[in-house]
A and B are shown apart, each in its own frame.
Chain A
Amino acid sequence: MSHRIISLLLGVGIVMSLLLMAGRFGGARVPANQQGYEPVQPIAYSHRLHAGELQIDCQYCHVAASTSRHAGIPSGSICMNCHKQVKATFGVVRQEDEAATAEKRPRRDVVSPELRKLFTDLGLDPSKDLKDQQVTQTVAWTRVHRLPDYVYFDHRAHVNAGVSCQTCHGPVETMERMRQHASLSMGWCVNCHRDATKNGINGKRVNASIDCSVCHY
Chain B
Amino acid sequence: MKHPNPNHWRGLEEWEDPTSVREQAETEFIDTPLRIGAEPGRRDFLKATGFLVAASSFTACSRPPEEKALPPVVQLEGDVPGKSYRYATVCGACPSACGIVAKVRDGRPIKLEGNPAHPLTHGGLCATGQASILSLYDSHRAQLPRAAGKESSWDEADARIAEALAAARQGSGAVRVLSPTITSPTLLRQIAAFVGGFANGKHIVADPVSASAILDAHERTHGVRRLPHYQFGKAEVVASFDADFLGSWIATTEFTRGYTESRLADQAPRKAAWHTQVEARYTVSGGKADERVKVAPWEVAAALEHLVAKLASLGGKAFVPGSTAPAAEAMAALDRLAQRLWNARGKSLVLYGANEIAGQQLANFANELLGNYGSTLDLSLPSLQRQGSDRDLAQLLGEIAEGKVAALFVLGMNPVADLPLNEAARKALERIPMLVSLAPREDETAAIAKLHCPDSDPIESWGDAEPVAGLVSVQQPLIQQIGKARSAIESFAKWAGKPASAYELVQTHWRESIYPRFAAAVPFETFWHKALHDGFAEVKPNLAAAGAFSTTAIAPLEKKAAATAMLQLYVKPGMLDGALAYNPWLQELPDPVTKATWDNYASISPAKAKELGVKNGDIVRVGVGETTRELPALVQAGQHDALVAVALGYGRKISARFQDFGPKWIDHRATTGANGLVGINAAPFLAFEANTVSYLRPGVTISATGKRQALAVTQTHHTLSVPENLDPGGPPRPIVQEVYLSEPEKFPATDPEDVPELWPPDHPYPGHRWGMAIDLDACTGCSACVVACQIENNVPVVGKDEVMRKREMHWIRIDRYYSGDVENPSAAHQPMLCQHCENAPCETVCPVLATVHSSEGLSQQVYNRCIGTRYCANNCPYKVRRFNWFNYPREDKLANLLLNPDVTVRSRGVMEKCSFCIQRIQEAKIGAKQEGRELKDGDVVTACQQSCPANAIVFGDMNNPESKVSKWVKNPRRYRVLEEINVRPSVHYLKIVKRSGEKPGEEHHG
Contacts and interface: CB of A to CB of B under 8 A. Distances in A.
A138 B60 CA distance: 35
Contacts of A141: 68-71
Contact of A217 (B59, B81, B903): B903
A104 to B, nearest CB: 42
A38 to B, nearest CB: 12
A216 B860 contact: yes
Given A17-B57, A160-B930, A143 B854 contact: no
B70 A217 contact: no
A74 B854 contact: no
A24 interface: yes
Interface in A88-146: 122, 135-143, 146
B505 to A, nearest CB: 29
B919 A152 contact: yes
Contact of A31 (B49, B62, B75, B905): B62
A214 B858 CA distance: 11
Contact of A68 (B73, B74, B82): B82
B83 A161 contact: no
A157 B915 CA distance: 21
Interface in A43-86: 63-64, 66-70, 72-78
A21 B42 contact: no
Interface stretch (A6-14, A163-171, A188-196): A6-14
A14 B49 contact: yes
Contact of A150 (B56, B59, B74, B904): B904
Contact of B862 (A73, A146, A157, A216): A216
A213 B62 contact: no
B860 A211 contact: yes
A183 to B, nearest CB: 14
Given A143-B68, A212-B854, A216-B864, A68 B80 contact: yes
B56 A21 contact: yes
A209 B926 CA distance: 12
A214 B926 CA distance: 11
A99 to B, nearest CB: 36
B744 interface: no
B46 interface: yes
Interface string A14-41: 1001001100110000011010000100
A117 B135 CA distance: 41
B930 A156 contact: yes
A207 B767 CA distance: 10
B918 interface: yes
A66 B931 CA distance: 11
A14 B62 contact: no
Interface in B852-890: 852, 854-856, 858, 860, 862-864
Interface residues of B, number: 47
A176 B74 CA distance: 26
B453 to A, nearest CB: 31
Contacts of A10: 46, 49
> Which of B59, B864, B902 has the most chain A CB atoms inside 10 A of its CB?
B864
Contact of A34 (B64, B68, B918): B64
A140 B905 contact: no
Nearest to A25: B60
Nearest to A79: B71
A67 B80 CA distance: 8
B519 interface: no
Interface string B893-933: 00000000011110000000001001100100010011000
A64 B75 CA distance: 11
B674 interface: no
Nearest to B766: A207
Contacts of A140: 68-70
Contacts of A136: 73
A149 B863 CA distance: 11
Contacts of B561: none
Contacts of B67: 142-143, 146
A11 to B, nearest CB: 10
Nearest to B69: A143
B520 interface: no
A25 to B, nearest CB: 7
Contacts of B767: 207
Contacts of B72: 75, 138
Interface string B595-612: 000000000000000000
B53 interface: yes
Contacts of B858: 211, 213
B896 to A, nearest CB: 13
B864 A148 contact: yes
Contacts of B56: 17, 21
A74 B71 contact: yes
B905 A149 contact: yes
A3 interface: yes
Contacts of A149: 904-905
A217 B918 contact: yes
Contacts of A76: 71, 73-74
Contact of B81 (A72, A78, A157): A72
A20 B57 CA distance: 9
Contacts of A148: 864
B934 interface: no
A17 B53 contact: yes
A52 B228 CA distance: 71
B60 A157 contact: no
B821 interface: no
B66 interface: yes
A152 B49 contact: no
B548 interface: no
B227 to A, nearest CB: 45
Contacts of B53: 13-14, 17
B904 A217 contact: yes
A64 B83 CA distance: 9
A137 B855 CA distance: 47
A161 B905 CA distance: 29
> Which of A67, A122, A150 has the most chain B CB atoms inside 10 A of its CB?
A150
Given A142-B66, A217-B915, A152 B902 contact: yes
> Which of B73, B860, B919 has the most chain A CB atoms inside 10 A of its CB?
B73
Nearest to B925: A157
Nearest to B926: A157
Contacts of B852: 212
A20 B58 CA distance: 12
Contact of B854 (A66, A69, A211): A211
B61 interface: yes
B864 to A, nearest CB: 5
> Which of B68, B854, B926 has the most chain A CB atoms inside 10 A of its CB?
B926
Contacts of A150: 863-864, 904
A209 B855 contact: yes
Given A31-B62, A64-B82, A68-B82, A213 B854 contact: yes
Contact of A213 (B42, B61, B80, B860): B860
Given A72-B71, A217-B903, A211 B83 contact: no
Given A20-B57, A207-B767, A211-B860, A66 B75 contact: no
Nearest to A161: B929
30 contacts: A6-B42, A17-B56, A17-B57, A21-B57, A21-B60, A24-B61, A25-B60, A32-B64, A67-B80, A67-B83, A67-B930, A68-B82, A70-B81, A72-B71, A135-B74, A142-B69, A146-B64, A146-B67, A150-B863, A152-B902, A156-B926, A211-B855, A211-B860, A212-B854, A213-B854, A214-B922, A216-B860, A216-B904, A217-B915, A217-B918
Given A14-B53, A139-B70, A154-B922, 8 more contacts: A20-B57, A31-B61, A67-B83, A68-B82, A70-B82, A143-B69, A146-B64, A213-B922
Interface of A: 3, 6, 10, 13-14, 17, 20-21, 24-25, 31-32, 34, 39, 63-64, 66-70, 72-78, 122, 135-143, 146, 148-150, 152, 154, 156-157, 160-161, 207, 209, 211-214, 216-217
6 A-B pairs closest in CB distance: A70-B82, A211-B854, A75-B75, A69-B82, A73-B71, A143-B69
